[in-house]
Amino acid sequence: MTSGVASGNWVGASLARVEDERFLKGEARFVGDLKLPGMLHATFVRSLVAHGTLRRVDADAALALTGVRAVLTGADLATLAHPFPVMAPPGVQVATVAAHPVLARERVRYVGEPVAIVVAATVEQAVDAAERVAVAVEELPALVDPHDAGEAPPIHPAVRDNVLLRHRLGTGDVESAFATARTIVRNRVEAPRLIAAPLEPRAVLAAHDPETDVLTLWLSAQDQHRQLAGLCAVLGREPARLRIVVPDVGGAFGSKGVPQAESAAVALAALRLGRPVTWSETRTESSLAVYQGRGLELDVELALDTDGRILALRGRILADLGAYLYASTPVAPLTAASLLTGCYAVAAAEVEVTGVATNKVPTGPYRGAGRPEAALAIERVVDAAAAELGLDRVELRRRNTIPASDFPHRTALGLELDSGDYLGALDDALRIADWDELVAARDRTRATGRLAGVGVAVYIERVGPGFETARLTLGADGDLVLRTGSSPHGQGHETSFAQIVAAELGVEPAAVTVRFGDSFEIPEGTGTFASRSITVGGSAALLAARRLRKRLEAGEQPPLEEFERFELPGPVFSFGAYVTSVEIEPETGEVALGRIVAVDDCGRVVNPLLADGQVVGGVAQSVGECLTEQTGWDEDGQPLAVNFYEYHLPTAQSVPPVTSVLRETPSPFNPLGAKGVGEGGSIGTPAAIANAVADALAPLGVRHVDPPFTPARIWETIRSAERRGR
């Protein structure tokens, strides 16, 4: 090995992503780029109704068409497929009988649910044939509003009350705190369902080797490990007989974390036909059938004393889970519940979670996965408490925020916070945004008769748990290869992981090849989600490199190999503070955002350039979440947004300037001291914008508005306030 820069210099360096070149040149290899001899093409027949008894699936006309090889239904796969696994954490009641089927049988439960898979020689032939499949459904009433779940007929016969998830958590004497409180403040906020809408929709290619009995699936997914575990369960195969390969991936945002019905159906079709089968999702299918994010209603009460200190919190979360449960469907409501006390020192708290079935596509993690919802709920009710008490909202936060001297800190909801300086982040955000001037500018704008507001929010983020692996090899030819269980889908792992190894071994990052995404090459690991890659995967890479360095210093010669399996001893928590301002046009309801100041503390930063990119990306998604994005269903359960004409993503023009500042409060729980920043922008932004919008409307007597803050919603809010004032 040649000596490079001094050890440690690469960690903290803002290096451009080395992987970008192949993406920009069109040299990346996505699942849709892969071709195999004899490959067939699949498409799906999907339910056109939200709820009904499946009477008949007639494929005769489809099978008569040229090129069609098979039409498989739920009945055809009944003996081949097992239910999808569902996460049931200790102490949480989960109705696992509501697991998603591979293809619908006996009943359909949401528009877009796959009913049959059509396989043909070309994708055009498959699409034409799918249109000839006759599906007879006897319609049943659709359950659309989660509030109606208890009174509606059961979507799943075994779940009479339509409740799929129940959980209670908390400690302390909440009842006494509320009984003796000077002030009780309550606020309800709805975080509506969202479509993840990655650049690349889902795709899968399946091929079976009869000689080895190995079924290989190339998937557009977030990692191979969770896909392997889930699909082994569904397909009834051992890991040695199922290979998952995740090539280049065009985004995920949580929506490609666990296997879904279509991947299993394509795999079974390939096994049935003895030919490779591929499927690439259309944008409409992505809007209809990929599990969606958010869908939570959070009702939070605070009990406060005469000094404005929070004595207790009481929360109720109603989760619209959709028609079925996937493995990760419970994640968001449970995460939101555990984080509902936010950055505040709350001695007593109790939260109740109820997740109900509706005739909609299931929900699952979407960037933040419960963290943005929790921050939105607690930050809105803190602003409401400040208004009720006649206190400055920043001052109220200062009185209640957990001080830096109080770490580690155990919350009343059972989380052990590892380290933090929440007030430091808040002070930085206020200073950088020039808070006093923002408030003064707001007041000057209001004096002219216009509507203006400013918003501030603080947040915490729990980094994903579990272990991760790293295998580092130094070949006799000097090639240095890191194999990591973390798989990228836009984060820049090839650059940042190379920096970690290069810093420890004293070489250039370009000397390190980073490999990922193949369950046969990297059979052990957890995966990429919940901002855990650098914290857990990076720590594994660091420890492997550290051991290799010691062997080299002892005079050992290549070839050499080191394997590391790292697991956090406890959760780590990033945190931050966000500030923004808004102006509202009263005649149209249009909300114009001012600059967003984002202060994020993610522990040790490996690559500030990439970390800033994660922050800005999260902010941009949240701008869409706050201003334009919304799903919807009519009374029959028909989706109202199935493409980008109806579901409005933010454009570059709608995203205001973002000032991203990174702080470093190292975690004591991993050798890097890292915490993760992939979701910070998606957590702090919605709460800050919501507080700014509420502040702008406060002179009209408006206390709260739920996102998204579309012109129509804000216009109607203003008109309603004017009618009340007459």
Angle of the 711-725 helix axis to the 680-697 helix axis, nearest 10: 30
Report percent pLDDT > 90 for the chain. 95
Residue-wise pLDDT tens digits, 482-508: 999 999 998 999 999 999 999 999 999
Which of 80-89, 189-198, 594-603 has the weakest average pLDDT? Answer: 80-89
How far apart CA 586 and CA 565 sit, in angstroms, is: 57
Residue-wise pLDDT tens digits, 525-549: 998 888 899 999 999 999 999 999 9
Burial label for 437, CB within 10 Å (0-12, 13-18, 19+), is: exposed
How far apart CA 336 and CA 334 sit, in angstroms, is: 5
Q: What is the mean pLDDT of the chain?
A: 95
Give me 715's structure tokens: 């216009």
Residue-wise pLDDT tens digits, 619-640: 999 999 999 999 999 999 999 9
pTM of the model: 0.95
* Biggest distance spanned by C-alpha atoms of the chain: 86
For residue 1, what pLDDT is reported? 36
Give me 19's structure tokens: 């992987």
Which of 363-367, 531-535, 704-708, 712-716 has the weakest average pLDDT? Answer: 531-535
How far apart CA 337 and CA 635 sit, in angstroms, is: 29
Give me 85's structure tokens: 């696994």
Angle of the 680-697 helix axis to the 371-389 helix axis, nearest 10: 30
Can the peptide bond before residue 408 be classed as cis, meaning omega within 30 degrees of 0? Answer: yes
How far apart CA 243 and CA 226 sit, in angstroms, is: 12
Report the sign of the C-alpha dihedral through residues 308, 183, 335, 367, in that order: negative
How far apart CA 24 and CA 22 sit, in angstroms, is: 6
- Cβ-contact 257, 527 below 8 angstroms: yes
SS (H, E, C) 579-620: EEEEEECCCCCCEEECCEEEEEECECCCCHHHHHHHHHHHHH
How far apart CA 437 and CA 451 sit, in angstroms, is: 17
Which residues, 6 or more positions from 374, have their beta carbon under 8 angstroms from its beta carbon?
Answer: 298, 335, 336, 337, 338, 339, 340, 342
* Amino acid occupying residue 399: R
Residue-wise pLDDT tens digits, 411-454: 999 999 999 999 999 999 999 999 999 999 999 999 999 999 99
